[in-house]
Chains A and B, each alone.
Chain A
Amino acid sequence: MASGQDKVVGASLLTFSTIVFVYYTLWAIVMPFVDESYFLHDYFPRREYAIRIPCVLLVFGLTVILTFLSMVMIKSKKKVEKKSA
């Protein structure tokens, strides 16, 4: 079986993703249909943030990934130019 530490990492990833999924589904899909005075609303931020947070994360993530990609591409092109010079 996977080593003890691997198991902990795997289990924590699994529980984290489940929690994220359940919380976000409740927030974005269920809460709009729930009466404003119901106690559950206290556990969630305002609804607009349900869209803003994934949007920001997406933009941020794409920026990081594409910047990394472009740096690698520039570096490899420089190497090719150096070799042929």
Chain B
Amino acid sequence: MTRATEAAAFFGITTTIYLALLFQWLPITLPETVQNFTLPVLPWWALVSFGAYSLGNIGYHVLTFRDCPEAYDELQVQIGEAQRDLRSKGMNIK
């Protein structure tokens, strides 16, 4: 199953269950507070949680971003080699 199909299936199933509970299509009776306040609030809660998760994820990765000094040194060496090589062939690159 591709990622897109998986995501679509997940959303489809959650939406169906949510709508079934919200419009009381099933012979299940939920407690009054849950039916009248929790269910209507759930989509907004999901939206806020998704926003918070995205922001937090970005913040976490900005916080733990790792400079790679080894890659920097290797790159400098390669730049030097390329410069020398081109200079020997007549081109002068800063």
Contact = CB atoms under 8 A, between A and B. Distances in A.
Contacts of B47: 54, 58
A51 B60 contact: no
A13 B38 contact: no
Interface of A: 1-2, 6-7, 9-18, 20-21, 24-25, 28-29, 32-33, 47, 50-51, 54-55, 58
A19 B65 CA distance: 22
Contact of A10 (B48, B51, B59, B67): B59
A25 B45 contact: yes
A18 B45 CA distance: 14
Provide the main secondary structure of the chain A interface: helix
Provide the main secondary structure of the chain B interface: helix
Top 4 nearest A-B pairs by Cβ distance? Answer: A13-B59, A10-B63, A10-B62, A14-B59
B23 interface: no
Contacts of B61: 10
Contacts of B44: 28, 50-51, 54-55
Interface residues of B, number: 25
B12 interface: no
A14 B52 CA distance: 9
A15 to B, nearest CB: 8
Given A1-B67, A16-B55, A25-B45, A6 B38 contact: no
A30 to B, nearest CB: 10
A6 B62 contact: yes
B5 interface: no
Contacts of B37: 32, 47
